[in-house]
Structure 1
Amino acid sequence: MSVGTATMGRAQPRPMTGEEKKVIVASSAGTIFEWYDFYLYGSLATIIGAQFFSAFDVNTRNIFALLAFAAGFLVRPFGALVFGRIGDIVGRKYTFLVTILIMGFSTFLVGLLPSYAQIGWIAPVLLIVLRMAQGLALGGEYGGAAVYVAEHAPVGRRGFYTSWIQTTATLGLLLSLIVIVGLQQVMTADQFQRDLDLFLGLKGGWRIPFLGSIILLAISVWIRLQMNESPAFQKIKEEGTQSKAPLSEAFGEWKNAKLVIIALLGLVVGQAVVWYTGQFYALFFLQSILKIDLFTANVLIGWSLLIGTAGFVFFGALSDKIGRKPVILAGCLIAAITYFPLFSALTSVANPTYAKALDTVKIDVTADPAKCGSLFDPVGIRTFTEPCDIARRVLSQQAFRYNKVAGPAGSAMKVTVNGKEVPFANLADFTKGIVAEANAVGYPTPTDAAKVKATSVFSVLGTAQGLSIIAILTVMVLYVTAVYGPIAAALVEYFPTRIRYTAMSLPYHIGNGWFGGLLPATSFAIVASTGDIYAGLWYPIGFAIMTFIIGLLFVTETKDRDINTVTT
């Protein structure tokens, strides 16, 4: 039977057995742990940069820290290939038992790594190696968990039951934020970042979440050892029909490779950019553009995640009734239509003085177009030497909106704030002068009282400002749940059992690891290039619309397929 044919009426929906429910709990618990490990680094990237890249200036070390974070995303598709192949040949259970061990020990070892000051260049090299090991493990983990749960789930309920796996990424992020915020509440900033003595000369409370993950690893491994192989894989193994070469079969045969491409462009890319916008770019936007402090931003995002997480299960169950395709594509389209007004509202509520300044303060950068190039630099490795480029980079880092004005050929660069020129002699003086002038005419200072500020985890719930921000963020989280809740079921159903682990893992991790993982850096690079704080939203909007169109034209509905019989 062709994978493109829906199998209708093979079995009636039934309640899950106790054993099948145990599968959900065991798979979800382990996957939460893996995401927790993966996101710890992202949440602590600035602090880690100071520990392992201390030989460099602040800006360079932060760039290297983010590049090390990105390394984990970039290798995820390779993990999907390696562990997907093993999963389709050896089995689901043992493959993602291996992935959780790799993830767990890699995370634990980050907590034990000596700093640059202690062992020199070996420290950042080992850090990047461990980040890549984490990315490889995650590349094999998600596909295994999703396939394992889906192959246990009864017909007509796969969307609902695999949606519990979809909650794990958000819950893992939320757990990492809870642990970090909790430690920050009982330690001083210096203790958390560098001064707390642990053992063996290791310092810094930031290490505790990494070291403590060994306990979660032990629990997760024990749970997974109790699990049995999935019935669908067991069936084809007993029949001797499992793939001997899943990589070549999945990607070397056009009938399967075509499905991989359609799944990537017509489902996953849009899902990925909506997910990373709602959970990661929103956090980045609060901190880097609206200048909300780290604690407050984490608290606001944390509450929105806590409120919105139930949406994964709701939309997963909804997809069992109306289909995976309409739920995912509707989420992409609605997000694309509403991102600009949502982020504009977020700016107005979170930092009203700043929002007003965007409209009332006019900053012009006038220069010879030949001396004023592109600032697009998503990986932070370019060096800018022209005064126009240096000045615009400073304005972008300060989140000041500016206009680029073409001046006469050969003319000197000039920066004006509401018509008043700010001299450009050197970087330090210009930065000081532009900040002072912008503050004088309306841009807020760091201590502006109108800006949202959390004094505790619960304080934001007692103000209209805090509740409004949480409501806006929760809407974006609900978009995430709409596109992400049904995606596991959709991908599992899209491919035959014999190559399912391999075939579904690659588009998922290319979409989420590359298109999604690179979204914050790329979007901010677009902001820096244009001087418009909202311009970075064109990245997710463009890809979400692309997915909507391709999905509408080429993706077939899969909710009624009997995945236990679709094997060729």
Structure 2
Amino acid sequence: MTVGTAVPRADEAARPMTSSEKRVILASSLGTVFEWYDFYLYGSLAAIIGAQFFSVYPEATRNIFALLAFAAGFLVRPFGALVFGRLGDMVGRKYTFLITILIMGISTFCVGLLPSYTTLNAYGIGWVAPVTLLGLRMLQGLALGGEYGGAAVYVAEHAPRGRRGFYTAFIQTTATLGLLLSLIIILSTQGYVNSAYAPTVVTNADGTTTTLTAFQVWGWRIPFLVSVALLAISVWIRLQMHESPAFQKMKAEGTQSKAPLSEAFGQWRNAKWALLALLGLTAGQAVVWYTGQFYALFFIQSILKVDQFTANVMIAWSLILGTGGFLFFGSLSDRIGRKPIILGGCLIAALTYFPLFNLLTANANPALHEAQARVAVVVKTNPAECSFQFNPVGTAKFTKECDIAKALLARSAVSYRTEAVPAGSPTVVNVAGKDFPVSDATFAKSVTAALTEAGYPAANNPTIIKASNPIDIFSGQKLAVVGILTILVLYVTMVYGPIAAALVELFPTRIRYTSMSLPYHIGNGWFGGLLPATAFAMVAQTGDIYFGLWYPIVIALVTFVIGLIFIPETKDRDIFTFDDQPAR
């Protein structure tokens, strides 16, 4: 059965959603969930994948290359937006995002089949494995760059006027649902495979042995391979769909753009709106989104030392509890407007991040919270010798004494201050009155022992939050952490729920796909994607584990100001007649 043939009218806003419209939303959302699922799989399994495809290198180096391949997917998203945005404005929405899902699905399936470095090296072509992996990751990023714009435009152009915020909010749930689905599949597969199959002992290049679980050896491929079933379902559904009514109208009138890229970005009257959409909407939305879902996970794992399983359980519950907010705020934006909700979310987040993350520390790792307030740690160094440790793709090396000291303390979640010493003086870390020279061969071990003795908790400290199973959240400490994380997710739903409708309404039909996709993916792929690396560098630079929050706070406030002044309210705009004029 085909869907999406009716042209919505303004007087349809109050009627119930039709079965045809439900299928449009299902087709668009299901495919986008699947694409996000594919994309997140790699991020969650980066360490295991690094061991498979970069095994010729030491562990630290192969993890760097694995993260570099992950970052490549984010970096190419804007290029995917340009390629597929142009295609979508020229040949249609339906066929374009049918292509994107095929590229994403086939690339993901191929990752599951790709032989490891060790396997191919037996034939003298081990290098083919990592090069192919990087290529597949870039294809995934390109596909994702085209998918979101297509899905958002397609749904919005089917939605009745006055309901676009609610309808497109279903698309907005897909990133969260894709992340949640990937976590569920990974945890389920890992639990089954490791319980049903014995571990494997492998011999390393230096003659030592390492015991690997069955999931680490081969089970990690299963989540990638099962994606082919999701691909088949998604493609079948999308093949039943018709072109969007707005594009059909534009094509029938012969008004579609012949050169969407030059029209969208080569003419200032249109390009300025893409720039304003980036700075006044998507940049702030991106950092709030990444803080609530990704930086929060990084913070509780890497800084608060919560184990991976528990951290994933806490995040998963917050996603389950908070995801309904996308639909609530999307629907609310149909009544009160897109601007007050998106910009309000940016402002509220900026004003409350510091107290919320402080509460997160106090509940997730109370011993750490107490130690930070009680234990004095000082880095005595020449400030000129210290680098700003910004390392978004993991390839930079910081070898100066000051950098070594600060990186160790930042990874240990230690609050410290810096005391300047004359040039040429050795760098020393003082813990509770005792000096530890960085040049000492046992520096890291000695400082770690001193911090533990002074009160900083070890990773196995019993006061650190720990879940024994996926439903082990019913204690005061765990419920408090889930509650804080849920608040952060609700901020995400405020800024992300109405964003698709706002972007669709901001641009004319003839260049809509192209114009909205680029600012969205620059905002989310670059402003958001660089958040963890930037925040860590800021923490290492200052010795304050909360200082990295200034990155999302400042960008969210900039977006609030620019959006308040320059972005128009668009909820009542008729996107069917808004096809031959620049956004205004």
Q: How does 1:343-354 map to 2 (within 5 A)?
A: 343-354=357-368
The SS at the match of 1:404 is strand
Q: Which residue does the alignment assign to 2:72?
A: 71
Q: Paired residue for 1:141, among 131, 147, 156? A: 147
Q: Which residue does the alignment assign to 1:457?
A: 470
Q: Which residue does the alignment assign to 1:357?
A: 371
Letter in 2 for 1:506: L
Distance in 2 separating the partners of 1:303 and 1:562? 39
Q: Which residue does the alignment assign to 1:184?
A: 190
Query: What whole-Å deviation, never above 9, does each CA across 1:94-138 have from its counterpart, x for those lacking one?
Result: 100000000000001111111222222221111111110000000
Query: What whole-Å deviation, never above 9, does each CA across 1:252-309 have from its counterpart, x for those lacking one?
Result: 1111111111111000000000000000000011111111111100000000000000
The SS at the match of 1:238 is helix
Residue-pair matches, total: 554
The verdict on how the C-alpha distance between 1:73 and 1:373 changes in structure 2, with shifts beyond 3 A counting, is closer
Q: Paired residue for 1:435, among 438, 444, 448? A: 448
Distance in 2 separating the partners of 1:533 and 1:373? 17
Q: Does 1:105 align with 2:118?
A: no
Q: Does 1:380 align with 2:394?
A: yes
Query: What whole-Å deviation, never above 9, does each CA across 1:64-88 have from its counterpart, x for those lacking one?
Result: 2111111101101110111011111
Distance in 1 separating the partners of 2:416 and 2:229? 50
Q: Does 1:271 align with 2:285?
A: yes
Q: Does 1:286 align with 2:300?
A: yes
Q: Does 1:80 align with 2:81?
A: yes
Q: Which residue does the alignment assign to 2:4?
A: none
Question: Mean alpha-carbon deviation: is it higher for 529-538 or for 498-507?
Answer: 529-538
Residue 423 of structure 1: how far off its partner (Å): 4.0
Residue 196 of structure 1: how far off its partner (Å): 3.1
The SS at the match of 1:264 is helix
The SS at the match of 1:410 is coil
Q: Paired residue for 2:543, among 525, 531, 552? A: 531
Q: Which residue does the alignment assign to 2:13?
A: 13
Residue 552 of structure 1: how far off its partner (Å): 0.4
Letter in 2 for 1:437: A
Letter in 2 for 1:528: A
Query: What whole-Å deviation, never above 9, does each CA across 1:526-560 have from its counterpart, x for those lacking one?
Result: 21222211111111001000000000000000000
Residue 240 of structure 1: how far off its partner (Å): 0.9
Q: Paired residue for 2:214, among 191, 196, 204? A: 196
Letter in 2 for 1:514: W
The verdict on how the C-alpha distance between 1:92 and 1:374 changes in structure 2, with shifts beyond 3 A counting, is closer
Query: What whole-Å deviation, never above 9, does each CA across 1:358-380 have from its counterpart, x for those lacking one?
Result: 11111111123333343333333
The verdict on how the C-alpha distance between 1:251 and 1:207 changes in structure 2, with shifts beyond 3 A counting, is same
Q: How does 1:305-324 map to 2 (within 5 A)?
A: 305-324=319-338
Q: Which residue does the alignment assign to 2:3?
A: none
Q: Which residue does the alignment assign to 1:331?
A: 345
Residue 485 of structure 1: how far off its partner (Å): 0.2
Distance in 1 separating the partners of 2:568 and 2:390? 37
Distance in 1 separating the partners of 2:214 and 2:117? 17
Q: Which residue does the alignment assign to 1:510?
A: 522
Letter in 2 for 1:173: L
Distance in 1 separating the partners of 2:149 and 2:421? 54
The answer as to whether partners of 2:401 and 2:439 remain within 8 angstroms in 1 is no
Q: Does 1:42 align with 2:43?
A: yes
Q: How does 1:357-506 map to 2 (within 5 A)?
A: 357-426=371-440, 429-460=442-473, 462-506=474-518
Q: Which residue does the alignment assign to 1:30?
A: 31
Distance in 1 separating the partners of 2:389 and 2:355? 26
Distance in 2 separating the partners of 1:418 and 1:403? 13
Give the TM-score normalised by structure 1.
0.95
Q: Which residue does the alignment assign to 2:179?
A: 173
Q: Which residue does the alignment assign to 2:132?
A: 126
Query: What whole-Å deviation, never above 9, does each CA across 1:182-240 have from its counterpart, x for those lacking one?
Result: 1222233985995539xxxx942111100110000000000111111101100111111
Question: Mean alpha-carbon deviation: is it higher for 522-531 or for 333-342?
Answer: 522-531
Letter in 2 for 1:176: S
Distance in 2 separating the partners of 1:107 and 1:309? 26
Residue 426 of structure 1: how far off its partner (Å): 4.3
Letter in 2 for 1:439: T
Distance in 2 separating the partners of 1:223 and 1:191? 40
Residue 382 of structure 1: how far off its partner (Å): 2.7
Q: Does 1:161 align with 2:174?
A: no
Q: Paired residue for 1:563, among 575, 581, 584? A: 575
Residue 162 of structure 1: how far off its partner (Å): 0.4
Distance in 1 separating the partners of 2:295 and 2:526? 15
Residue 446 of structure 1: how far off its partner (Å): 1.6
Query: What whole-Å deviation, never above 9, does each CA across 1:41-85 have from its counterpart, x for those lacking one?
Result: 111111112222222222222222111111101101110111011
Residue 516 of structure 1: how far off its partner (Å): 0.8
The answer as to whether partners of 2:304 and 2:364 remain within 8 angstroms in 1 is yes
Question: Which runs of 5 or more residues in structure 1 are unaligned?
Answer: 1-8
Distance in 1 separating the partners of 2:53 and 2:11? 56
Give the TM-score normalised by structure 2.
0.92
Query: Over aligned residue pairs, what C-alpha RMSD do you find?
Result: 1.7
